[in-house]
Structures are given as structure tokens and as C-alpha cells.
Structure 1
Amino acid sequence: MAPDVDGDGNGLPSRWATMRAGLTTRLLLATGVLVFVVAAAYVALGVALTDLSRARAGATHSVQEVNVARDVRRLLIDMETGQRGFIITGEPSFLEPWEIGRRTLPERVATLRNIVDDPQQAKRAEQLETDSLAYIRDYSVPLVDAARRGEGWVRGIPASEDGKRRIDSLRRQLDGYVTTELALSAAEQADADNDYRRATFIAAGGLAASVLMTVVISIYLTTRVVRPVRRTAMTAERIAAGKLDARVPETSKAEVGVLERAFNSMAESLQHHVGELARLSDEHAALRRVATLVARGRPSDEVFAAVAQEVGLVLGAEITRILRFEADGTATVTATWLRAGERVPTGTRIPITNTVAGPVRETGKPARITEESPPELPGSAYSAVGAPIMVGGSVWGAMTALSRADRPLPDVAAARIAEFTDLVGTAVANAQARADLVASRARIVAASDEARRRIERNLHDGAQQRLVALGLQIRLAEASVPPEQPPLRKQLGDIVSGLNGVSADLQEISRGIHPAILSQGGLGPALRILARRSAVPVDLDLGVDRRLPDSVEVGAYYVVSEALTNAAKHARASVVKVGVEAEGADLHLSIRDDGIGGADAAKGSGLIGLTDRVEALGGTMAMSSPPGSGTSLLVKIPLEVQ
């Protein structure tokens, strides 16, 4: 449909030309006036408030200066009273306020000089500081020192009159300073009151003007915008209630008219796409549920069952299957979903020659055929769609969906299935990766244990035996040394003692590499010896009286050994409780200490290595170590290691 052209014939749509001279222009003009009025009011208000703040700050500062000046006067009076009382009575207690004033007065007059802001007051403050310090330095301190020495002139009239003259002068200076500062404070307060009244008047005027402009604009918007928009909103509510054929009448050619026409166009589009949006929402929700299972590492059979059900519900199919292709040309049913009827059991081998899975396997691409009914469905022709499941770049299997031929699956069915088969492939790859990782870790642990066992045997049967034989030979040589050569006999004895120490050290090293008692007597005797050698007392509760698989015994031994070592080094524990029990198909270990807790596997405590060893055996290890409450390890190792 061609756009309308304005009267000038310039080819522009007439509705946009009308809009430029319509509601937008009026609103922009009114808004500009309102913004100008409000901005002017705010600027004037800001200036007034700045003056008000400055005036109040000046008044507050004047009060502070008056308070400091009064402190200076009080200190001078206290000094005068204290020194006079001491001179008259000779009691040292009268000098306590004098001492306080002598120490404090210089700081207070300096403070007064620093905070004064009026030039004339600044001169008075400087003179006051000079006279106050001179009073202390030239009169008060010499007078008190003379009184302490008992000199009689301090009680004479000249000394008293000199002090009175000095203190009266300081009082007059302080009274004049305070009086002047109070007058300045009153003036500042008066300015603050004037600024407050001016700010109030400006704010009231600006508010009244903005309210008036707002009322005018509101009336205009109500008639030209609000009513049409409200009518449009009511129509939107009808559409939201399910009446997708509702439309709003077009009453204007300006912006509101454009809105009404756009709304009607949107309603038509919404009516057209609402079904598609609902379908996509359901499909995405199904994908999220399946993706959550994959991300959590749930078992493959659980993921397969969920995918089969979700695809069946999304496509409205009669039956869905997940098939794993076998080398003999058949397929194994790993999951199935059926709207009604008996399902083919999981694990069943089925032929795929005449099914949609056949071309999927041959081409590695989605396929669609008309298929005869499977045994689970009533006899009829079915629309069948299948998509490959790729794992590691190869076709692992397929997912198929069937629906009655009279209501075939949509053309996009294959693409929808492919979104789910990607998740299935990820789940299969994850499961294979986990299995490969567990097997690899188990092989590494087994090889490490075998290497430890071999090194221990070599040390015991080789180097250690040679050290013993060498010690015996030296003993024989020692016995044959003539009695007249005792130094040589002593040297040979020292060599034998050193060889015995080396042999003991080597024996201890071999036990750490792989304790022989573990291979000979099993887990129980090995743990008893480990408990006796522990630096921390061990309360051992041993519930195992039989031999276990070598890998299980070695793993359990090193878990307990590392836990006892950590308790001795870091836990500050007084006792460690170790429990060992073979229950059902698992070996359970519990190691608890009463130490300080706060163990962290990330800080190199050896717990990461123990976790790897336990998990390589298919077991689990949980640690709890709250600060101040000790450390607890709970380990479960399957007795039948895969």
C-alpha cells in the first residue's frame, strides 16, 4: 500500500508532516517554557541557599569564637583567683586552677587567633594573645615563684595593683572582643534570616509557576493524549484477556494516530505469532530442563529418559526413542517415551533396516520417512523423523519420533530434535570422559602404589641387608683388633653405630614409602602401628578383621596417615579418634580431632591428594573443619574397586 503524499507533492508521507506541526511541536514548546521557569527558579533558589549557608556558617563561627574568648576569660580569672589565694594562705591547693590556666591559656588564645575571620577581630586576637602571654610570663609566673620562696614583696600593694591593672586590661580586651563578635554574629544571623525568606519566596514562586504550567499541560495531554492512550490500553487489556481480534479506532493523524495504527498492526502480528511463541517457550523450557540435568552431571539414563519425554511432548508425537547404534547393524534402545501403551524395555536390541534410524545411520544427517507402525503402536502408517546423535565427531546413535500419518510431524521437527540430540551427545561425551578419568586415575594410583611397594622391597632386601652385613663384618674386624690398639677398636665401634643408625633411618624411610606390615598383615595391624607412632594420642576403633583389596587397604592407610600427620602439624589437638568399619559393599573411615579447625584443602595440606586417591577408587571424602571446633574427615571407599 503506497503512503499518502502531502499537498506539496514532495513525496513525504503526509502523516509525518502533520506530526511535525501537531502534538510534538506543542508539547516541546510547553515543555521548554516549563523547563525555563523551573530552571530559573532553581538557579535563584540555589543562589539564595548558597548565601543562606554562608550566613549560617558565619554565625556559627562567631559563636565558636565567642565561646573560645569566654574560655580565655575564665582561665584568666581562675589564674588570678588561684595565685591570690596561694599568696594569702600559702595553701598549694590554690595553685591547681592556676597551673591548669598556665598550661591551657596559651593554647586557647592561639586557637582564638587561628579561627578568627574578621580583620579587626584578628588584630584584637593577636593583641590579646600577646598580652595574655606577657601576663603569664612577666607577672603571674614570677609572682607565684616568689611566693613559693616566701618573699614578702608579693603581698605588697605594688604587686597587687600591677596584677589588677594587667588583669583588668585583659578583661576589657576580652569584653570588647566578645561584644564585637556578638554584634557580627547578630548581623550574620540577620543576613541568614533575609536569605531564608528570599529562598522561601523564590521556591514558592517557582513552585506556583511550575504547578500552573503543569496544570495547563496536563489538561492538554488529557484531551489529546491520555484519552486515546487509555482507549488503547483498554483494548490492550482485551487482547491480554485472549480477545486477539480487538482493535482500537484511529482518531488522529498526529503521533497518537500513528500509535493507534501501530497498535493495530502489532495486534495483528501478535495474533499471528502467539501460537508460535507459546511453542517456542515450551521448547526452550524443555531444553533448559534437559540442559540442567546435563550440567549437573546426572546419569546418562536419566538424561535420556528426560530427553525422550520432552521431545515427545514438544512435537506431540506418539512415540520417541533414543537408539545407540551397534556394530552388527542393530540398535539398542537406551530410552523411550510412549503416549499410550507398553514401552520397549531399555537395553532391547531392535532392527533398524525399515525404520527412520536406518538412513540416519547411513548418512549421519536428519531423515524423514513414512514408517510402518512399531510393535508398541496400533497398526497404521506413521510419519517418522530422526536426527543423529554425534559424539566425538562420529554417529553414536539417533533419536526418532513418530506420529500418525494423518497428522504428520511439522517440517521443523528434525531441527527441533537436533537441538535435543546435541545435549544427548554432550551427556554421552561427559559420561565417557568421567569414566575415562576415573579409570586413568585408578591406573595412576595403582602404578604409584606398586612403585612404592617395589622401592620398599628393594630397600629392605637390598640396601638394608647390605648395611646389616657390612655391620657384622666390621664387628668381626673390631673383635680381631689387638688390645694394645684401643683407638682403632673405638673407631670401628663408632662406624658400626653409624651403620646401625643409617639402617634404622632407611627402615623408617621404607615404612613411609610403603609399610611392609600393610602387605603382610593387612589394614588392621598397619593402622595399629600407625596409631602407636602418632605424635598425637589416637583412639582407634577398628571394625575390620579381614583382608581387603590391596588398593582399598593402601588408600585407607594413606588417608589415616595423612590425617594424623596434619593433626600433629596443624591442629593442636589432644586426641584423634579414628573409626574404621567395613559395612556392606563399602569401607567407612572417620577421623576426628579436637583441635583448632580451620583446615583448607586449597592451602597445600595434602587433602587434595587424598581426595584424588579416594575418588580414583570410586569413593568420596567429605571434610568439615569449622574454626575452633576441630576437623572431621568422612571417607567411603567401595570394596569392589572398578
Structure 2
Amino acid sequence: MTGRMIGATGLLTAIVSIVFTLLVVAVSDMRESAEVLRHSRERLAAANLVERDIIDLETGVRGFVITREERYLEPWDATRFRFPADASELVRLADQPGQRSRARRVLEAGTSYIQGYAAPLVSDVRQGDASASSVEATEEGRRRVNALRRELDGFAAVERVAITASQERADADARQAIVAASVGFAGSIVLVVLFAGYLTRAIVGPVRRVAAMAGRLAGGDLSTRMSQTGVGEIGALERSFNSMAESLQRSRDGLRRINDEQAALRRVATIVAHGTSPDDVFAAVAKEVGLLLGAEATRLLRFEADGRATVMSGWTREGDPVPAGGRIAIGGTVAAIVRQSGQPARKTEQLSWVAGFLPGPGPYSAVGSPIMVEGKLWGAVTALSPHDRPMPQGADVRMGEFTGLVGTAIANTQARAELTASRARIVAAADQTRRQIERDLHDGIQQRLVSLTINLRAVEASVPPELPELRADMGELVGGLIGALEDLRETSRGIHPAILSEGGLGPALKTLARRSTIPVELDVEIAHRLSEPVEAAAYYVAAEALANAAKHAHASVARVEAGIRDGRLHLSVRDDGVGGADPVRGSGLIGLTDRVEAMGGSLEIISPSRQGTLLQVELPVEID
């Protein structure tokens, strides 16, 4: 049977190879014909383009000679510069010596027509030469153009013949390919039919039983088995199929377990990635662990310093609530082993009392896995199942994937809290430093400058009348000192405005509006003092927005609105400027965003191009 199969396969291979070779040859010939056809069409198109150029040249010159109107020379001027390139392209595309010679004659004759006839004729007409409009002059141009067109007609005729020949050759190759494919296909069909009849009689019968089993396996019935009654290769095939079914059944059970575990991990990881509160993560982990292990109940515990544990979350198969938030003793439980060793553990717990979330007393199979947060033992996840339905092997290790996610969620929450507190401390320290600098300037240098100004005015007043120059010099000194004092006051207000500390956010915003270089409309409804960090953040946001509106947005008016709603300060600054503000390009807006977010607020910038800019801020408030 093997020899016959090899012989039939060889014969079929030979037929297919011959047919394939004929097809390859035919396809190659067709590709060559198509390539020749494409080049001929390119040359024909180039010849048509050159002929159109010649017509444009003749039409332009003749129209100008007859009418003497310059507008007829517009196509002639454009074409006489384009013609050399178009004719040169025709020479390049011509691959036959005769065609190339004809194309070169067209190039030379066309160039001669432009330079030796058309250009001088146009020049003579412009100079008023009457002979330039004579019949002899126009007849010379017609003769040259007709000669050029005859050359192009000959060139096009040759290419049309080549196109026709290439098309006919391609059609012949296609017919040859069809005949070869048809003959090979018919021969292959005959051979396949004969060979199939032999295989049906010799092999198909015994294999049908195997095929039926394979169908049951494909339908999901991995418990099916077939009787091993065959001999030789058929018997080996039956044994192999039975072994394969057993292996598939074991693999499917393992794969199902892995898929369930990975799906549960993905669900918990998604909750952790979204920054959900730890309580939600605890509840999800308790539920997913219970469902995955087939447990009766699960609990997530946090170890306390007194040796007890706090129940953070729980789950039961029956859906009964698990008391959370209370402290429990863990002595004698699997949680105590986990706390002592810091490793996953398994234990049989003998419960003589009925917990509120368990069906009854008795022995329970218990497993536990530690929760580590930044390398330190934080707590554990425990699962209980009746002793007659013990936890599967490796359950304690499988729980470790979930406890790792719990540790990550707790660490992330702590890190976010610490980062928020740190940012708030940095902002508060910066504001405190600003206030200290402002006070130092006001109480120190500013007061000294005021005293110097008063003393200088007294000296100026005591200058004798007979010394007017000295009095003038003293006046200039007093004026310069007053200017320096004003600059210092302005700088002091920029560091930390005193009005913000003394009067609060409302008066500070009104002062900003008065000092703005553009008109500002105010709508401020703040009846109480707010915390210093919130007032400072809102003030600097408004100051930066107004400064940008005047300096960069070229706005004509701005509107500032501020009010308390739902326990949050809502501040908005809108201008009618050019828009297009980009926080990435301005360190001031980035700094304001950091300040606002450090207060637990949000800052949004809406700035479409040419539609103005809207800056909106929300800050949590605590009324002082």
C-alpha cells in the first residue's frame, strides 16, 4: 500500500509540475507582453504630448501674427520652454533605433522651428515688419509644422502596431495557459478519483471509527474512548487516540483553572490600576479568591500590634455578610501561622462554634497567604472550606498572586497620600516664605527708604534760596528715592500681596482687577475667609491668567468669577483674546497646575484658536 501511494503521489506530482511549468512560462510571456505594451503606450502618450506642444506653438504664433495681440503668445511662451523637455523624454522612451532617430529629428526640427522661425518671426512682428505677416512667412511655419507632425504620425503608427502585436501575443499566451491548466486539472481529477477509490476500500472503513471518536472529542466530550480492536497501524492509531483523549482532558482541566485564575487576576488588577479605594480592592479580592478556590468563605485580615487582626473584607458562598471592621483573635487559625512565618500556610481548623458566615461547626480546610506592603507583613487572606471538600493543592500559593495586588493597592494608596501631603507642605512652605520676605521688605528696607525720603525732604527744605542748583539736585534725589520705594512696593506685592493676608480672596481679586492693564469684569461671591493655601492658589491663578490675557492673548476685556458651591471654590477667568494657550509651553501654567492639584483641586484650560481662553479652577474649601 505504501508503494502504491508513493507511485500515485509521484504521478500526480509530475502532472502538477508539468502544468505548473507551462503556466509559469505562459505567465512570464504574458508579463513580457504586458511590459512591452506598457512601454509602447508610454511612448505613444509622449508622442501625443509633443504633438500637442507643436500645435500650441503654431496656434500661438499664427494668432499673434494675424491679430498682433500679445495674449495669443501666452500658450506659445509656455510651450516653447516645455517642448525641449517633452521631446527629450520622447527620445529617452524610444528604445528602437528607428524610433529613436525619428524622435531626435522631432526634437531637432521642433527646436529649429522655435529658435529659427517662430522666435524671429514674433520679434519681427513686434517691431512692425510688414513682411513678417506675409503669406510666405506663414507658409514657411505651416510647412515646418506639417513636417513635424508627419514625423510624429510615423512614430505613433509604429507604436500602435507594436501595441497591437503585444496585445495579440498576450492573448495567445493567456489561451495557452488556460489550455495547460485545463488539461492538467482534468488529468489530476482522474488520478485523484482513482486513488480515492483505492483509499476508500483499503483504509476509510477502519478509520471511520477513529473519525467518529475525533468528532466527539471536537464536540467537547473528552471522556469518550474507543475499543482497541484493530491491528497494526490501525491498532496503534486507536491506542494513540485514547491516549490523546486522556491528555486533552487533563490539559483542558488545567487550562480552565489557569484561565479562571488569570481572568480573576485581570479583574482585580483592573480595579487596582484605576486607583480604586482599598476597600473596593479588598472586597474584590475576597470574592475572586473564594470563587476561584471553591471556598465556603474568605476573609482579608490586617494584623494589629496586639496580636489580633482586623477584618477588612469578607465573602461567603451563600452571600451572607461577613462582619467587617471588627477585631478578632487569630490564635489557633491559619492566619496565626502566616503571621508567624510570613509564608503561605495550610491547616485544618476545628471549629466548635458556628461563625455567622459559616454553615456550622466542625473541621474546616483552611489556607492563608500573607499580604506584604513595601517588604513588611501587613496582613493575610484566608479561605475556609468543609473538610470533606478540602482546598485544592497549591491553593495557598495561588492566593499569593492576589495578595501581591492587595499589597500594591495599599502601597499605591499610601504613596498617593504621602505625595499629596508632601506637595501641600511644599506649597505651604513656599507661601510662608513669600509672606516672610514680604514682611521683611515692608518692615525693613521699605521703612528705611521712607525715613530716608523724609530726611532728604527736610534737607531739601533747609537749602538756602541762594543755592537753587543744590535744591534741584536734592529734588532729583528725593524723586529717585520715591521711585525706588514704589518699585520696592510693587515687588513686595508681587511676592505676596498684603491685601490677600489682610482682607482675603475677595478684596485681593478686586485689587488685581484694578491694577490690570485691561478692563476686568468681576463677579465674586465669597462671604467668608478661606484657608490660606486655597486663597493663595486661587489668587495666583487669577493673577497669572490676567497677566497672560494682557501680555500674550492681546485681549480687550476679561471676566473673573468666583464663588463657593458644594463645598468647593469655583474660580474662572475668561478673556476674548487670540486663544491657543498651551500649558506645555508656559512654566507659569504648569506651576499653577501643580499648586492647584497639591490642594486636591483641578485646573482646566479651554483655549481654541481665535476664540479666547477660559481657565477654570475647582478647590476644596474649609471656611475659616
- The two structures have a TM-score, normalised by structure 2, of 0.84
Query: How far apart in 1 are the matches of 2:253 and 2:52?
Result: 86
Deviation readout 1:572-616 (Å, 9 max, x if unpaired): 333333222223433222333333433332222523222222222
1:600 equivalent in structure 2? 582
Q: In the superposition, relative to structure 1, how do residues 555 and 110 fare at CA in structure 2: closer, same or farther (>3 Å)?
A: closer
Hey, what does 1:299 align to over in structure 2? 277
What amino acid maps onto 1:366 in structure 2? P
Change in Cα spacing, 1:56 to 1:586, as seen in structure 2 (3 Å) is closer
Q: How far, CA to CA, are the matches of 1:197 and 1:140 in structure 2? A: 52
Matched, 1:280 2:287: no
CA distance in 2, matches of 1:390, 1:145: 99
Q: Which amino acid aligns with 1:288?
A: R
- Match of 2:552, SS state, is helix
Question: Pick from 187, 199, 204: which aligns with 2:173?
Answer: 199
What corresponds to 2:90 in structure 1? 115
Among 557, 569, 587, the residue aligned to 2:569? 587
Partner of 2:591: 609
Counterpart for residue 375 of structure 1: 355
Once the two structures are TM-superposed, the CA of residue 629 in structure 1 deviates from its matched residue by: 3.7
Q: 1:77 to 1:639 in 2, by over 3 A?
A: closer
Q: How does 1:404-423 map to 2 (within 5 A)?
A: 404-423=386-405
Please list, as runs of the form range in 1=range in 2, the aligned pairs for 1:550-589 lying within 5 A after superposition.
550-589=532-571
Aligned partner (choices 604, 607, 616) of residue 622 of structure 1 = 604
Equivalent position amino acid for 1:115 in 2:
L
Instruction: State which of 500, 518, 524 in structure 1 corresponds to 2:482.
Output: 500
Which residue is 1:54 aligned to?
36
Q: Which residue of 2 aligns with 1:8?
A: none
- 2:301 is matched with which residue? 323
CA apart distance, 1:425: 0.6
Aligned partner of 1:337: which letter?
A: W
2:522 aligned to 530, 534, 540, which one?
Answer: 540
| 1:356 and 2:330 matched | no
Looking at structure 2, the residues matched to 476 and 149 of structure 1 have their Cα atoms a distance apart, in angstroms, of: 98
User: What is the match of residue 215 of structure 1?
Assistant: 189
How far did 1:270 drift?
Answer: 1.7
The alpha-carbon distance between structure 1 residues 32 and 610, as it changes in their structure 2 partners (threshold 3 A), is: farther
Partners of 2:296 and 2:148 in 1: CA distance: 105
What is the distance in 1 between the residues matched to 2:348 and 2:604?
Answer: 55
Q: How far has the Cα of 1:41 moved from its partner?
A: 2.1
Note if 1:632 corresponds to 2:614: yes
Q: Confirm or deny: 8 A CA contact 2:54 2:145 kept in the other structure.
A: no
Cα distance, 1:317 vs. partner? Answer: 1.4
Secondary structure of 1:482's counterpart equals coil
Alpha-carbon separation, structure 2, partners of 1:66 and 1:619: 72
Give 3-state SS (helix, strand or coil) of 1:361's partner: helix
CA-to-aligned-CA distance 1:142-193 (integer Å, 9 cap, x gap): 98689x4568xx99xxx867986x5686477457535643552453244224
Count residues in correspondence.
608
- Say whether the 8 Å CA contact 2:46–2:89 is kept in structure 1: no
Q: In structure 2, the residue corresponding to 1:446 is in which secondary structure?
A: helix
Per-residue deviation, 1:469: 0.4
The alignment's C-alpha RMSD in Å is 4.0
Alignment-mate amino acid for residue 336 of structure 1 = G
Which one of 435, 438, 443 corresponds to residue 461 of structure 1?
A: 443
Cα separation, partners in 2 of 1:123 and 1:304, compared to 1, 3 Å: closer
Are 2:117 and 1:136 equivalent residues in the alignment?
A: yes
Note the 1:61-460 alignment, pairs <5 A: 61-62=43-44, 64-65=46-47, 68=50, 72=54, 92=68, 112=87, 115-116=90-91, 117=94, 118-122=99-103, 124-125=105-106, 128-129=109-110, 132=113, 136=117, 148=128, 170=144, 173-174=147-148, 177=151, 180-181=154-155, 183-212=157-186, 215=189, 219=193, 235-246=213-224, 264-340=242-318, 343-373=321-351, 375-376=355-356, 377=358, 378-460=360-442
Which amino acid in structure 2 is aligned with residue 278 of structure 1?
Answer: R
Deviates more, 1:607-616 or 1:469-478: 607-616
Distance 1:71-1:388 versus aligned 2 partners, 3 A rule:
closer
User: In the alignment, is the contact (CA less than 8 A) between 1:360 and 1:367 conserved in 2?
Assistant: yes
Q: From the superposition, tell whether residues 140 and 293 of structure 1 become closer, same or farther in structure 2 (CA, over 3 Å).
A: closer
State whether residues 269 and 405 of structure 2, in contact with CA within 8 Å, keep that contact through their aligned partners in structure 1: yes
Normalised TM-score (structure 1): 0.82
